[in-house]
Structure 1
Amino acid sequence: MDRVRVRRAPALRRAHRRQVRGIPAAAGVALPSRRPRRRLRGRASAAPGRHAGRHDPRARSAVAARETPRPPRRGGRARRAPAARRGQRGAAMSDPTLDREPAVTAEGNGSHWVRELQAWRGRQGRPVPRLRLVLVALVAVVVLAALAYGVYWWHWSAVHVSTDDAFIAGHIAPVSARVTGTVVAVLVADNQDVKAGDALVRLDGRDYEVALAQARAAAEAARGELQNATANIPLTDESTRSLLQEADASLAAIGHAQEGTEHDLEQKRSDLAARQSAVEAARAAHQAAESDFERVKLDRDRAIELYRKELVARQDLDHAEAAFKNGAAMLDVAAHRLRQAQDDARQGAAAVQSQAAAVAQARQRVVQSRAQVSNARTQRQQVRLREADLETARGKLDLALANVKQAQLNLDYTTIRAPIAGRVTRKAVELGQVVAPGQPLLAVVDLDDVWVLANFKETQLTGIKPGQHATVEVDTHPGLVFKAHVDSVQGGSGAVFSLLPPENATGNYVKVVQRIPVKLVLERGENAQHLLAPGMSVVPTISLR
């Protein structure tokens, strides 16, 4: 407020009307005025004539200015000390008469206007401090620099995206035991660089050497069985083929004989049928002869009866007697023919029965021959059995050879080798330790093939595309910038693939900006010195142009 009171003269000109709080007034201190010095000096010299008999503050201030000695300055006139100026300024600002009404003295009408004019005169001749100019220039430079940096930052942010939620990822190959054994040698140390195929750990392999010898012996035995099965196949094939040929020939002969007997049987059956037809004809003729005989007998008996009564002549009776004798003779002939035909039919039936028995015997022989053929063919199946035995022997040999390979592999697994080239980490194996299959022993990190996984906000993925250039800054190596490019963008946010994915189908939903991983691949040769390792925090910046 002291500074305001001194530098703001218009505000102080109204100080006689109101009291400024917190600033006491001091008497007898002159305050500068804002009017120019030359104009005041001219008017001060003419004050007695123009303002005679009245209060003239300008004349009094001019007289006071001439009466007050000035300190010399640089180049002939001295400059007042800053402490003196501050004391005078403090005394002026603490003058209690600044807030009071002007008082009338014997020399003229006193007023705070005079004090303001005197203070302003003292300040007009004072040069501006150089430190203030430097500070003003510095502030202006800072403001311009801040403005230029803001414009640059706005333009840079429009074509670049960056995030600090990123880290280095790479291939970490875990090394574990494939077989059970006791560690007899540990060939690497922590953080040692190894090449692919280098031996890392050796296990005791004596048990596996014995198992390999047993597998080889079993393979030799299986090979012998295979040779025996191979030799039995030709012998069985020849023997069964001859038996089958003999059975087929016998079956063919018996088949022809059967056909002959069956043909004879058919002929005899035809003869039997003819003879049976003759028997039927003879029987019919015999029946006709019997009928004629009965008729002529009746005619004779009737003729005899009529002759006794003398109703017919003797000639008619003789004719009737002759017809009767002729009918009797014809009946005897028919009976003889019937008996002969019946005898022929019985002979034909006997011949048919005999031939049927021969056919049955032929059929029996055919059945027996077919059984022999079937047996020969069954014997022939032994060849297939021998061939199956051969395949079984081959399978046993293959199994034995596979056991040999497995035993060899188990023996090779006693030497644990590096799966990839890299650096040994997390070594947890010691000499004499008994390890089990699948037990982790150490890990090998491939430092030649590392990449960056940057979790960008979904609002930053608008312009990100595969192939865009990027730079990577690592917290471990400040000042180093690695070149990279965008390889791919994951097909989902990290929250979707978490163990408990979010369920947004609820009544209370708060939208949260998701982050989606973006894979950045370093340019060839950027990590030649193996400065980057998986897990390091990085700050990638992608250029969207």
Structure 2
Amino acid sequence: MSQPPQSRSKKPFVILGLVLGSVALAGFVYYLINRGYETTDDAQIDGNIYQISPRVAGQVVQVLVADNQHVTKDQVLVKLDPRDAEAALAKAEADLAQAQAQVSVAQANQGQAAANVSVADAALLQAQQDDERYRAINQRAVSQQQRDSVTATIRAAKAKYDAAVQQQAGAEASVTAAQAQLTAANVEVKNANLQLSYTTITAPAAGRVAMRTVRDGDVEPAGAGLMAVVGDDVWVTANFKETQLPGIHPGEPATITVDAIPGITFKAHVDSIGAGTGAVFSLLPAQNATGNYVKVIQRVPVKLVFDDNRVAQYGLAPGLSVLPSITIQP
């Protein structure tokens, strides 16, 4: 007697249906949760990194900071040997004193020249008056010799007056030249003071010391890299896909989670949107005018600024990976 055929089990189909339903439900829930947000994992902390270099060559006499030390704005970082700059300043100050003395001498000569002009002018006037008196009396009472003497006296007085005027003009030119030398000497003193100030290297902003390579006794040329100062002011640069940009606007609130600080969420907001894609500003921008073109979704940097006072507490550093989430306004 043959047995009736056994019916196929429906259990696998039920399991498959439950799995597909669970996946669909999870996707729907994920959509509901994230439909009001834009996020990307292509984001990192950014900040100002100041490269510290000497503006003059010299030997390092003292390094006053350690690796990773926090410094304040204008805090002294490195001191160079100032003796050469001090000697140059002393010479410039001596030249300035000499220039000041030369101006005084030139002004005294100018005064003397002006006095000589006055004396010559008085002598010329006296000679002219004498001539007028001789002309006013009877000509028979004055000899030809007397008239010739008066005429010669006038000519001599006129010549002396002209010479005194020329001397005065030369004295005035000497004063102008001396004053120009004094101005140049003042400039040299200011420049020498400036060069001396360059032997003391200070922090351009508050931050932490990084990549310190300088040591006491090193002889450093101008422009050599000594260290870097990473500024305290940090922000987030998030590279969003261009298809995400329609919902992102400056001022929108955001939250930031940092991979290095799990469990902590920082408040932030959208500060600005980049003026171009990352590809445009790359070292070798893509050239799409030749060959086969494959469209690739571009990414645009979006700057997010922290609104959280805890940022300084956790010491966020440039380069750390973060996950931003921007709340999209309907």
Q: Is the 8 A contact 2:266 2:308 kept in 1?
A: no
Q: Distance in 2 between matches of 1:378 and 1:539?
A: 89
Matched, 1:198 2:89: no
Q: Distance in 1 between matches of 2:314 and 2:123?
A: 86
In the TM superposition, residue 524 of structure 1 has moved relative to its aligned partner by 4.5
Larger RCO: 1 or 2 (CA < 8 Å, sep 6+): 2
Name the residue aligned to 1:112: 3
In the TM superposition, residue 243 of structure 1 has moved relative to its aligned partner by 4.4
Matches within 5 A, 1:321-360: none
Matches within 5 A, 1:308-457: 379-380=164-165, 382-447=167-232, 449-457=233-241
Structure showing the higher strand proportion among its residues? 2
Q: Distance in 2 between matches of 1:477 and 1:384?
A: 81
Matches within 5 A, 1:132-171: 146-171=23-48
Q: Is the 8 A contact 1:247 1:376 kept in 2?
A: yes
Q: Distance in 1 between matches of 2:311 and 2:43?
A: 17
The superposition leaves residues 245-301 of structure 1 with CA deviations (integer Å, 9 ceiling, x where unpaired) of 8779999999xxxxxxxxxxxxxxxxxxxxxxxxxxxxxxxxxxxxxxxxxxxxxxx
Q: Distance in 2 between matches of 1:152 and 1:389?
A: 92
Name the residue aligned to 1:49: none
Name the residue aligned to 1:225: 102
Name the residue aligned to 2:298: 514
Structure showing the higher helix proportion among its residues? 1
Q: Is the 8 A contact 1:161 1:541 kept in 2?
A: yes
Q: Aligned partner of 1:387: which letter? A: E
The superposition leaves residues 442-500 of structure 1 with CA deviations (integer Å, 9 ceiling, x where unpaired) of 111112x1011111111111121111111112121222211111111121222222333
Q: Distance in 2 between matches of 1:513 and 1:204?
A: 55
Q: Distance in 2 between matches of 1:249 and 1:486?
A: 92
Name the residue aligned to 1:342: none
Query: What percent of counterpart residues are identical?
Result: 45
Q: Distance in 2 between matches of 1:502 and 1:487?
A: 28
Q: Aligned partner of 1:522: which letter? A: F
Q: Distance in 2 between matches of 1:391 and 1:530?
A: 64
Q: Structure 2: state its 5+ residue gaps.
A: 132-150
Name the residue aligned to 2:112: 235
Matched, 1:491 2:281: no
Name the residue aligned to 2:134: none
Q: Distance in 1 between matches of 2:273 and 2:187?
A: 46
In the TM superposition, residue 530 of structure 1 has moved relative to its aligned partner by 3.9
Bigger Rg, structure 1 or 2: 1
Q: Is the 8 A contact 1:244 1:377 kept in 2?
A: no
In the TM superposition, residue 213 of structure 1 has moved relative to its aligned partner by 2.0
* CA RMSD of superposed structures (Å): 3.3
SS at 1:440 equivalent: coil
SS at 2:246 equivalent: coil
TM-score by length of 1: 0.49
Q: Distance in 2 between matches of 1:525 and 1:435?
A: 40
In the TM superposition, residue 221 of structure 1 has moved relative to its aligned partner by 1.0
Q: Distance in 2 between matches of 1:484 and 1:400?
A: 55
TM-score by length of 2: 0.78
The superposition leaves residues 355-378 of structure 1 with CA deviations (integer Å, 9 ceiling, x where unpaired) of xxxxxxxxxx9xx98xx58x9567
